[in-house]
Amino acid sequence: MAELTGQIAVVTGAGRGIGAAISKRLGKMGATVALVGRDAGSLAAVKTEIEAAGGVAEVSAADLLQEDAIARLGESIKARYGRCDILVNNAGVGMLGKPLHEIEPETWDVIMATNLRAPYLLIRTFAPLMIAEGRGHIINISSLAGHNSLKNGAAYAASKWGLNGLTYSVAEELRDFGIRVSAVAPGSVNTDFGGSGKGGSWKIQPDDVANVVAMLVTQSPQSFVSEVLVRPARKP
């Protein structure tokens, strides 16, 4: 039997990049994966891949900038499965390349709403289901930018510093309920995120991050890893 058979996993930003890799890995491990994102077409493609490999997945198209959309997602998962065992807050935006004083307030708001407010709303939605079961994993995909300065990326860095603080604090709030909350902070990943484009064999691959998530959700019950920093093996 696969390690996660019978478990329900919700993965945001599941249509591409890191989110798609995590979703496929959890599906391969036996979890039923709710693929969350705005692009139903890309989510459907990931669903097809998971099912072709013998897994189970469903498309849950939702705009994470909309509080009511997240509430409907939670209601749907509760109605269909009555539980949520794994929540991966992966969806994020970068909008890099400008100093902070040239960033419009609207851009700042989108970055914060996607990278920080949405994880809060998702935890608020799914933590009660985990509390009812007395177990669960919440994994927030952060960034090394949440530990370091990032020239021409101050808003993004601020959102990830905030996500780290949220992660550490919620971990303390939920650990007594048997729920483990962890952050995964990768460096440069070989995706199109932030407009950087793919390329560079030196970069971390999405599957490398998926491997870390797989480790986190199969930890022994008496301990938990609070954060994993993932760096490229070598610099460009």
Name the average pLDDT for the chain.
Answer: 94
For residue 221, what pLDDT is reported?
87
Contact between residue 47 and residue 35 where contact means Cβ atoms under 8 Å apart:
yes
For residue 8, give the amino acid letter: I
pLDDT of 195 over the 50 cut:
no
pLDDT of 28 over the 60 cut:
yes
For residue 49, give the amino acid letter: E
Residues 6 or more apart whose Cβ sits within 8 Å of residue 62: 36, 37, 38, 69, 70, 72, 73
pLDDT of 193 over the 70 cut:
no
Question: Mind listing the pLDDT tens digit for each residue in 118-139?
Answer: 999 999 999 999 999 999 999 9
Active-site entry in 81, 120, 156, 168: 156
Question: Mind listing the pLDDT tens digit for each residue in 83-104?
Answer: 999 999 999 998 899 999 999 9
Active site residue 120: no
Contact between residue 78 and residue 55 where contact means Cβ atoms under 8 Å apart:
no
CATH code of the domain made up of 8-230: 3.40.50.720
CB < 8 Å & 24+ apart, contacts of 60-66: 60/10, 60/34, 60/35, 60/36, 61/36, 61/37, 62/36, 62/37, 62/38, 63/38, 64/12, 64/36, 64/38, 64/91, 64/113, 64/114, 64/118, 64/121, 64/122, 65/110, 65/113, 65/114, 65/118
